[in-house]
Amino acid sequence: MFIFSDLSRAVIDGDTEQVKSLTQEAIETGISPQEILDKGLLSGMDEVGKLFQAQEMFIPELMISAEALNAGLDMIKPLFAEESKSNKKKVVIGTVQGDVHDIGKSLVSLMLGSKGFQVNDLGIDVSPADFVSAAKASGAQCVAMSAMLTTTMPVMKKTIDALLENGLRDKVAVIVGGAPVTREFAERIGADGYAPDYLTAVETVEKLLSNFDE
């Protein structure tokens, strides 16, 4: 469908206004939010990733494309919420302290919401204390952390330690992810789950929380 290719191109070009216009058009046409996400927005961002890896696109252009992507995501988030079924399971999610990357984290947050989870997205640069405070206040069954920088990965271990110190570790499942994060690292710091991408993250949270009492 032409609207998907046009939407993908708008993301690649970093044309925020065009992304908003085409996303609105797709919504009004009755296209499902999942299709808008997969065939339009993420398709464009996948191409951005390939161009970046091939050094045909650089960080400034990447960030502009990411802003355009987020504009589209903001428009379809409410639609996912309308489609989701009620779910009592709560998830606290955020990008760890010292890290301001949020594309992957935002996708996981969006998709968890579409599955009916009650998601408390703390955003970026989240300290261990803030993760603990949010988990305690909400009674969350899961804490999900993202890191895109190797220098911020140790904060994940500090957060797990903080959960333990505050008597929450046995009450929450911890899942970690992000480009530099590996399964071996996740196991080494004591995380319950690891996800290399947003789809795996959602599946992992669903699996982990199926073993937790509400």
Choose between 153 and 87: higher pLDDT: 153
Residue 104 lies in a domain: yes
When pLDDT is averaged across residues 46-71 and rounded to a whole number, the result is 87
Query: Are both 78 and 96 inside the same structural domain?
Result: no
Confidence category of residue 53, pLDDT binned at 50, 70, 90? confident
The CATH number that applies at residue 173 is: 3.40.50.280
Give percent of the chain with pLDDT exceeding 70.
Answer: 96
Query: Are both 103 and 181 inside the same structural domain?
Result: yes
Please check the confidence at residue 127 and state whether its pLDDT lies above 90.
yes
Residue 214 lies in a domain: no
Query: Are both 20 and 63 inside the same structural domain?
Result: yes
Structure tokens at 183: 């399964």
Query: Are both 51 and 77 inside the same structural domain?
Result: yes
- Please identify, among 83, 106, 124, the residue that sits at the C-terminal boundary of a domain: 83
Confidence category of residue 6, pLDDT binned at 50, 70, 90? very high
3-state helix vs strand vs coil in the chain, percent to 5: 60, 10, 25
Domain of residue 128: give its range: 90-209
Domain count across the chain: 2
Residue 30 lies in a domain: yes
The CATH number that applies at residue 56 is: 1.10.1240.10
Residue 186 lies in a domain: yes
Confidence category of residue 85, pLDDT binned at 50, 70, 90? low
Choose between 78 and 156: higher pLDDT: 156
Please check the confidence at residue 4 and state whether its pLDDT lies above 70.
yes
Structure tokens at 130: 């803030």
Amino acid 199: pLDDT: 78
Please check the confidence at residue 47 and state whether its pLDDT lies above 60.
yes
One-letter-per-residue 3-state SS of 134-186:
HHHHHCCCEEEEECCCHHHCHHHHHHHHHHHHCCCHHHCEEEEECCCCCHHHH
Query: Are both 118 and 201 inside the same structural domain?
Result: yes
Structure tokens at 174: 């911890």
pLDDT of 145-191, one tens digit each? 999 999 999 999 999 999 999 999 999 999 999 999 999 999 999 99
Phi, psi of 119 (to 5 degrees): -105, 130
Lowest mean pLDDT among 45-59, 81-95, 187-201: 81-95
Query: Are both 132 and 65 inside the same structural domain?
Result: no
Please check the confidence at residue 129 and state whether its pLDDT lies above 90.
yes
Amino acid 77: pLDDT: 86
pLDDT of 195-209, one tens digit each? 998 878 989 999 999
Residue 38 lies in a domain: yes
- Please identify, among 50, 83, 116, the residue that sits at the C-terminal boundary of a domain: 83
Confidence category of residue 101, pLDDT binned at 50, 70, 90? confident
